[in-house]
Structure 1
Amino acid sequence: MSLIEKARNYVMSRRSFLGATATLAVGAVAAVTLPGCGLQKVDSDRAAELANEQGEWITAACWHNCGGRCLNKAYVVEGVAIRQKTDDTHQDSPDYPQQRGCARGRSHRKMVMGADRLKYPMKRKNWEPGGGKKELRGNDEWVRISWDEALDIVASEIKRIKGKYGNVSIFAPVGGSGGGLEPLRVLNAYGGCTERWGSVSWGAWPVVWQQVTGIADTGAASGNDRFRLRQSKLIILWGANPAQSSQGLPTFNYLQAKKAGAKFIVIDPLYSESARVLADKWLPIRPATDTTLILGMAYHILTNNLLDQKFLDNCCLGFDADHMPEGADPKDNFKDYLLGTYDGTPKTPEWASQICGLSAETIREFAQEYATTKPAAIISGGAPARINNGEHLPHAMITLGLMTGNVGIPGAGVSPNMHNSSTNAGPALVKPGNNGIPTVKNPLKSSINSGEMWSAVLHGKYTESKGNVKDVNIQMIWDWFGHTINQRAGATLGIEAHRKVEFSLAQNLFLTTDARYSDVVLPVISQWESLGGLLTGNREILIYYRQIMKPLFEAKSDMWIATELAKRLGVDPKIVNPISEAQALYNQIAGAMVMKTDGSGYEKLVTLTADDIKELGAQGAPQTGRISYKEFKEKGIYQVPRSPGDKLEFTSFVDFRADPAGKKLATPSGKFEIYCDSLAKAIEKVGFTTKSPIPKYDPPREGYEDGAKNGYPFQVITIHYFRRSHSTLDNVPWLREAFPQELRINTNDAEKMGIKNNDIVKVSSRHGSVIRPAMVTERIMPGVVALGEGAWIEMDEQAGVDKAGCTGILDGHIPTGQGHTGFNSCNVKLEKYAKPLDPDVKWPQRIIF
């Protein structure tokens, strides 16, 4: 039967979405959504006609947070996205690669037009002002309401809660980064709110990198760009798995370095996709013990005289007693710590082996190879530093590079080079203009750390700084943009917190975990339904996405919602929404800049005529740039042409290495600080834990040793997963079918427990339990299990387990260090689960109305 015949014979079920279902080959459809006030069902004959009608390829937003943000195009006929494709704007080559999308990006149509899109504003059936039956949050029925009723309820509750408890009682846990900040604008204009803070993706790296190197930009300013990587002789991927987590070009760029002669060593408890493609050697290591491996390597380098002593003397502070800062105890130098001069414990490879799980001989061989290979690059993902009190790890890793002088040389370096800077460090070569919307500052100074926010809601106290614990009475939670319960540690407490407050509000595209535990849910549009905007990915590209379709059902933009609420709260709408959407888009385009070919500075990217500005519906003056507006619009992307040896290559710290006296770093000493008193003071000031000025091994809370002695013998690592970007796209059936959410367990461990492939396993930590089918494999080290992070929580409250396998259920709600989250210092125990569990692709979608 042909695809067209299948489409004509297809019978839509009652709960089937009215949206488009395109084929991969000829674009046949079964039923199609047409834009308008709502959606219309189209018969199969008309659907087939649409599939064959002339349409337009339009650049569509691929906005999820994987770091790639590759080129995504939708073929649009009469406002219907029939199919998708990726970059074909130029011939593909290693030097000038296409920005090709992955399975996630190519599934956006199935998300944006998914059957589970929220269609109308709604409230809980048993909601009443003040909460109603709050315990039913997550299980209550939903009642469809009008936008006027929804906005009136929200405004009334904000007024009531502010009047009774003050602005500080309104909690916006999304925080001030990542975009989508329209709700904060109206809250701040109405007197402020309590916000969230804390490092998440980068783990313990941010404060350490800034204090030790003097550079605030953790990613873009660390390491080499893709051409300089080809000069590396050795590349160490330390807990970095770009083939699975970054997608896009990073793995391709690493392959070019490998073809140019670089050897790859991968350090990871999991034999990852990146290791499979790139690794010459895989070193499996126990999670949260990487610092011991580094110290064991450093001991070997020191005692075998493999140091770059000249570099240490000229460019570093605190390696030995002769190079300590004034006023510091000379005994607190790093060299004597390694030797165990004062603590009686030499940090030998044998000492490290007992903790990290690698043999002493392997540690020595690794140290020898690294120290004698120049240039060598250590490139870390965020994962190894996503551990409780993890600041010692990045500090030690930087120090390892400093000891060998593998810093400031093209092809060398130590860097947390991941996300959109993965394999391509350096300042942006093309960047968007400011949208022209001024910030509305929060007049309150109330901000709670991610690792303390749920306990603060439940118990009414939080740590503002060392010795300063404050009372707080949170009575409203407003979730948007992110997926706070699901994607922060301590998800079980997050659910309790949402059930405690008097009012819980969410706005989203879907009934996410946050929305499920709310009182009122507001449907919002996706970026495919917005007017358009600019997206950045790697340093060489700028994407101009446009509107693909009109808003579905009754979904509204975040800015429209904020503006309407402002009117009801007595706030001047112009403060919240000062310029039109068209003007904001024009400002981004007109202000877009591109680096000059000689690297001397930026110039305008886009030429705009009076007619272009009129077409955009904005006010502005014509200008001359590198490309025309027409070209930018039609291609949907500008990619900076590159070639080896051009003036745009980048390696961090080259200038400083060449002239350490004249090009001092922005640290107190002007040098790299192995002894870093400012780091120790910064951590102490936060108020959760302390850190010595030099890197040491401080066993993380709930790390390997803690689990081994407390009845949780397995360590769980929370990996980025093909199926989704964090939690985005987890609801797409295509991706659920292609990439099941499995618990990876080592073959020997599974045999000892009688676990076979697809057996259901219960995974329990101190903080909660999940169940998942087992994937028995040799590709993970014994004593470690792995789960993809981001699965949407599906609680079985009677059994006390999450059926989806959300790692936030397992991770502890623990604030340490700079306030980062310890996703990879978590201990668990395993047991076979007696009840069956259907594959999640067969679960009913969260379709409301």
Structure 2
Amino acid sequence: MGNILEGIINKQINRRNFLKASAIGAAGLALPGCSSSTLTNTGVDATADGNEGQWITAACWHNCGGRCLNKALVVDGVVVRQKTDDTHEDSPDFPQQRGCARGRSHRKMVMGADRLKYPMKRKNWAPGGGNKELRGQDEWVRISWDEALDIMASELTRIKDAYGNRAIFAPVGGSDSLQAVPRLLSAFGGYTARWGSVSWGSWPTVYSKVTGQPHNGASDGNDRFRLRESKLIILWGANPAQSSQGLPAYNYLQAKKAGVKFIVIDPIYSESARVLADEWIPIRPATDTALILGMAYYIIKNNLLDQNFLDNCTIGFDADHLPEGADPKDNFKDYVLGTYDNTPKTPEWASEICGVPAVKIAEFAQEYATTKPAAIISGGAPARINNGEHLPHAMMTLAYMVGNVGIPGAGVSPNMHNSATNAGPALVKAGGNGLPKIVNPIDDSINSGEMYDAILNGKYIKQKGEIRDINIQMIWTWFSHNLNQRAGSSQGIDAYRKVEFVVAQNMFLTADAQYADLVLPVTSEWERLGGLLTGNREILIHYRQIVEPQYEAKSDLWIVKEIGKKLGIDPTKVCPVSEEQQMYNQLAGAEVIKEDGSGYEKLLTLTAEDIKVLGAEGEPQTGRITYQEFKEKGIYQVPRHKGDKLEFTSFEDFVADPANHKVNTPSGKFEIYCKSLADNIEKVGFTSKSPIPKYEPSVEGYEDGQKNGYPFQLITIHYFRRSHSTLDNVTWLREAFNQECRLNAQDAAELGIKTGDIVKVTSQHGSVIRPVYVTETITPGVVSLGEGAWIDMDEGNGVDKAGCTGILNGPIATGQGHTGYNSCNVKVEKYDKPLALDVNWPQRIIL
């Protein structure tokens, strides 16, 4: 891309070249918004000056939950416009896969002036760390790739020789194609890894243990056609209009048009509530389990149970249906009634905790228990709380009590992310890439909530009763924004400044790169070979390379292979399957459901010439469509219609015939009493949980906030401006969506705060400053802030100016080791210094 810039500078500046320069961000110029041009049959379009360009399917690869169709108009190697899906006519039954503002702004990110252009090292770095306290503040020095690779090989060898492989920490996940670093480190002798549920909160282990499903529940529930058969949909802490952009809100709208009633339970009157809700029930964060127990009490006392469902499909509801060997007192019914603890979980008891009036709890319980089919669809937010495993367990139990599971339109699950509103197995899917599984010779893996403390203090919990010493001296991040996005960022900065060597592979000067010693610029997906992406269950997207790599950016795979060569490691151990062969494997193995739903067939016809052009080895094959058609359109979407053979509702077979279609739990039933869940959490070693769902106040939840001087509860929301932290540097999005703190009007009046004031939000773990927006659409006592803003520390005042929620969230490991982003106590005060809008902040342009 540097060559493209030089070419533009050396040419006469006519209108066409001006457009080309602005498309790649030269001199900070900008172009108009997205085009609505129609894709021709040839995929060719013309710019305003008559020059032909080609529309190419571009990756929209971020973890947003949408994964929509993204097209780039490329003229002479430069992206001049973007658009989204126009490959077919739009309809509710066969909707277009339309992108959002984030996807349509990709060219301003990929071709931004703030891309990292060259390898760089920190000015005051030296082997062993140099002046480590200057990480995050030091100057940068441009170096060659040869020097950067030599530094990497030298430091890896030095740290291994001095401390052993356990001293090397690689705290990042990612897809197989992005696992080049773990492959290299495994071949080098191993590394210390990270583990823990981040996005899904406490759902994964709970859902799998209670239902026997081998996943987190996000793909369970009803598909979009079955949702139209519901009579009531409860969106419990789910805001798909903001958190899962793409089709989910549109699919819910079709259900609403079909007559479905919507109740939204959320501390915020969200965008989804504004469009869909017939009723909004505001609630205090981290107290949802109390509300559920109050509903359960009402249902029991008013004889609204589906006893047949409980008897045949569950264990543990009452003392007569416990597994052999269980304590008779450990049954859910007696716990709710207060038989043994003398605390009946009445609506009045629940109201004191969750803030929902007792009469509303009773009304809500009555309506849910007497409405079939009704679906409870949870977002991840309610379960992203410390020691929060009781919540999903209780939510599922509530549905079991009234038999609202296993019938079309009913269900209970965290149906979210790219499965939101469209549950069920994929109808079209890519093949595997052929890469073997990574085998790390070292079994050290540190929980997210404990990793910074482990770096600083040299110990971590391996499992209950086993505390291990650890001496981390190197942190290597890639394909992530680890320091920004994990709880405890303030402690994380201290940890990054403690170790001897920090390296970041990144596109931008994110926090991981800012606090590193060595920065290696990487390419985006737009600059690589291409690949396959899945969004909802009905689509498969084939994206391709859009532009040449910018400046001296290299792919993660190239970087790691070159480091391996310096270390004397065979490149085939880092990448045993070429990128071209991986692409072919995915294409050749792609499958699509048969129209009668009886199984899968090959998606693609691949000719010998196709395989040759792909640069791979393989045999020609026949499929439903040609590879050339797939490549040109960039997407295959399974045709659907109401009543087809592809509709889905979880557990239909089991509920219809529990004796012959048992679920994969020890009892063969849904486990309200779930000893395997309790044993699993006990073994992890952070906290304990009873076999039945109970109300246990979250660490730093509502009750703690009433005692510790931090009276507000923080909720961290997904935000229009970015996908987690990705795209936060795009000025278009910064201008459109300000990073503001939201505060209830009553609370604001008591604090003497008005909209536009700068406020300081402080937890026990750190402080941020932000402009405030005062509103009636958030529950009193609650503060909201969009997660993902890039840390920008004012070292003198010890505050983060950007509003990064990781600064406020505590590094607390509980339960199964998930992260409790929404159990966090804060205080709010007016800040006496000005703060410019971050759209006006200087971009992080280095060299």
Is contact 1:19–1:115 with CA below 8 Å preserved after alignment?
yes
Is contact 2:47–2:53 with CA below 8 Å preserved after alignment?
no
Is contact 1:50–1:77 with CA below 8 Å preserved after alignment?
no
Is contact 2:237–2:264 with CA below 8 Å preserved after alignment?
yes
Letter in 2 for 1:619: E
1:251 alignment partner, one of 245, 249, 253:
249
Per the alignment, residue 273 of structure 1 pairs with 271
1:227 alignment partner, one of 225, 228, 231:
225
Per the alignment, residue 380 of structure 1 pairs with 378
Distance, in Å, in 2 between the alignment partners of 1:489 and 1:314 is: 42
Per the alignment, residue 87 of structure 2 pairs with 89
Pick closer, same or farther for the CA change 1:192–1:26 going to 2, 3 Å: closer
Pick closer, same or farther for the CA change 1:77–1:513 going to 2, 3 Å: same
Structure 1 moving runs of 4+ over 3 Å: 4-13, 15-22, 24-28, 48-52, 175-179
- SS of structure 2 residue aligned to 1:448: strand
Per the alignment, residue 43 of structure 2 pairs with none
2:662 alignment partner, one of 648, 661, 664:
664
2:500 alignment partner, one of 475, 499, 502:
502
Is contact 1:605–1:625 with CA below 8 Å preserved after alignment?
yes
Distance, in Å, in 2 between the alignment partners of 1:130 and 1:338 is: 58
Is contact 1:27–1:51 with CA below 8 Å preserved after alignment?
no
Per the alignment, residue 585 of structure 2 pairs with 587
Is contact 2:35–2:82 with CA below 8 Å preserved after alignment?
no
Letter in 2 for 1:521: V
Residue by residue, what CA displacement relative to the aligned partner does 1:201-252 show, whole Å, maximum 9, x if unpaired? 0000000001100002224541001111010000000000000010000000
Per the alignment, residue 191 of structure 2 pairs with 193
Distance, in Å, in 1 between the alignment partners of 2:625 and 2:455 is: 52
Letter in 2 for 1:680: A
* 1:343-742 equivalence runs, <5 A: 343-742=341-740
Pick closer, same or farther for the CA change 1:611–1:361 going to 2, 3 Å: same
1:61 alignment partner, one of 59, 62, 70:
59
Residue by residue, what CA displacement relative to the aligned partner does 1:126-145 show, whole Å, maximum 9, x if unpaired? 11001000000000000000
Bigger Cα displacement from structure 2, 393-402 vs 655-664: 655-664
2:78 alignment partner, one of 80, 83, 100:
80
Is contact 1:121–1:523 with CA below 8 Å preserved after alignment?
yes
- SS of structure 2 residue aligned to 1:647: coil
- SS of structure 2 residue aligned to 1:812: coil
Distance, in Å, in 2 between the alignment partners of 1:640 and 1:9 is: 41
Distance, in Å, in 2 between the alignment partners of 1:476 and 1:771 is: 31
Is contact 1:480–1:506 with CA below 8 Å preserved after alignment?
yes
- SS of structure 1 residue aligned to 2:233: strand
Give the deviation of 1:16 after TM superposition: 6.6
Give the deviation of 1:7 after TM superposition: 9.0
Distance, in Å, in 1 between the alignment partners of 2:606 and 2:116 is: 38
Is contact 1:21–1:82 with CA below 8 Å preserved after alignment?
no
Letter in 2 for 1:348: T
Distance, in Å, in 2 between the alignment partners of 1:839 and 1:746 is: 22
Give the deviation of 1:847 after TM superposition: 0.3
Is contact 2:36–2:83 with CA below 8 Å preserved after alignment?
no
- SS of structure 1 residue aligned to 2:121: strand
Distance, in Å, in 2 between the alignment partners of 1:709 and 1:328 is: 36
- SS of structure 1 residue aligned to 2:582: helix
Pick closer, same or farther for the CA change 1:5–1:619 going to 2, 3 Å: closer
Is contact 1:244–1:273 with CA below 8 Å preserved after alignment?
yes
- SS of structure 2 residue aligned to 1:378: strand
Is contact 1:318–1:325 with CA below 8 Å preserved after alignment?
yes
- State, as a whole percentage, how many aligned pairs show the same letter: 74
Per the alignment, residue 178 of structure 2 pairs with 180
Per the alignment, residue 842 of structure 2 pairs with 844
Is contact 1:70–1:100 with CA below 8 Å preserved after alignment?
yes
Letter in 1 for 2:787: E
Residue by residue, what CA displacement relative to the aligned partner does 1:751-806 show, whole Å, maximum 9, x if unpaired? 11110111000000000000000000111011001000000000001101000000
Distance, in Å, in 2 between the alignment partners of 1:402 and 1:444 is: 42
Letter in 1 for 2:181: P
Letter in 2 for 1:651: T
Distance, in Å, in 1 between the alignment partners of 2:218 and 2:830 is: 45
Distance, in Å, in 1 between the alignment partners of 2:52 and 2:778 is: 50
Pick closer, same or farther for the CA change 1:541–1:459 going to 2, 3 Å: same
Is contact 2:446–2:461 with CA below 8 Å preserved after alignment?
yes
Is contact 2:53–2:74 with CA below 8 Å preserved after alignment?
yes
- SS of structure 2 residue aligned to 1:500: coil
Per the alignment, residue 105 of structure 1 pairs with 103
Is contact 1:57–1:76 with CA below 8 Å preserved after alignment?
yes
Distance, in Å, in 2 between the alignment partners of 1:19 and 1:531 is: 28
- SS of structure 2 residue aligned to 1:562: helix
Distance, in Å, in 2 between the alignment partners of 1:784 and 1:19 is: 39
Residue by residue, what CA displacement relative to the aligned partner does 1:619-643 show, whole Å, maximum 9, x if unpaired? 1111000000110000000001111
- SS of structure 1 residue aligned to 2:706: helix
Pick closer, same or farther for the CA change 1:115–1:639 going to 2, 3 Å: same
Q: Is 1:239 aligned with 2:248?
A: no
Residue by residue, what CA displacement relative to the aligned partner does 1:252-296 show, whole Å, maximum 9, x if unpaired? 000011111110000000000000010000000000000000000
Is contact 1:20–1:113 with CA below 8 Å preserved after alignment?
no
Is contact 1:27–1:83 with CA below 8 Å preserved after alignment?
no
Is contact 1:27–1:52 with CA below 8 Å preserved after alignment?
no
- SS of structure 1 residue aligned to 2:263: strand
- SS of structure 1 residue aligned to 2:214: coil
Distance, in Å, in 2 between the alignment partners of 1:777 and 1:575 is: 56
Per the alignment, residue 293 of structure 1 pairs with 291
Give the deviation of 1:9 after TM superposition: 9.2
Residue by residue, what CA displacement relative to the aligned partner does 1:605-630 show, whole Å, maximum 9, x if unpaired? 01001111112121111100000011
Structure 1: gaps of 5 or more residues: 29-47
- SS of structure 2 residue aligned to 1:237: strand
Distance, in Å, in 2 between the alignment partners of 1:78 and 1:193 is: 44
2:26 alignment partner, one of 17, 31, 35:
17
- SS of structure 1 residue aligned to 2:399: helix
Distance, in Å, in 1 between the alignment partners of 2:115 and 2:510 is: 10
Is contact 1:51–1:82 with CA below 8 Å preserved after alignment?
no
Give the deviation of 1:650 after TM superposition: 0.7
1:164 alignment partner, one of 139, 159, 162:
162
Distance, in Å, in 1 between the alignment partners of 2:632 and 2:757 is: 51
Distance, in Å, in 2 between the alignment partners of 1:329 and 1:27 is: 65
- The alignment of Structure 1 onto Structure 2 pairs a total of residues equal to 826
Distance, in Å, in 1 between the alignment partners of 2:596 and 2:259 is: 28
Structure 2: gaps of 5 or more residues: 1-12, 38-45
Distance, in Å, in 1 between the alignment partners of 2:131 and 2:285 is: 42
Residue by residue, what CA displacement relative to the aligned partner does 1:509-561 show, whole Å, maximum 9, x if unpaired? 00000000000000000000001100011110000000000100000001101
Give the deviation of 1:439 after TM superposition: 2.6
Give the deviation of 1:179 after TM superposition: 5.7
Per the alignment, residue 38 of structure 1 pairs with none
1:318 alignment partner, one of 304, 316, 323:
316
Give the deviation of 1:175 after TM superposition: 3.3
- SS of structure 1 residue aligned to 2:95: coil
Pick closer, same or farther for the CA change 1:163–1:724 going to 2, 3 Å: same
Per the alignment, residue 776 of structure 2 pairs with 778
Bigger Cα displacement from structure 2, 442-451 vs 210-219: 210-219
Is contact 2:540–2:636 with CA below 8 Å preserved after alignment?
yes
TM-score, L = length of structure 2: 0.96
Bigger Cα displacement from structure 2, 644-653 vs 339-348: 644-653
Residue by residue, what CA displacement relative to the aligned partner does 1:490-518 show, whole Å, maximum 9, x if unpaired? 00011111100000000000000000000
Pick closer, same or farther for the CA change 1:572–1:27 going to 2, 3 Å: same
Distance, in Å, in 2 between the alignment partners of 1:572 and 1:276 is: 57
Distance, in Å, in 2 between the alignment partners of 1:533 and 1:51 is: 32
Distance, in Å, in 1 between the alignment partners of 2:171 and 2:504 is: 11
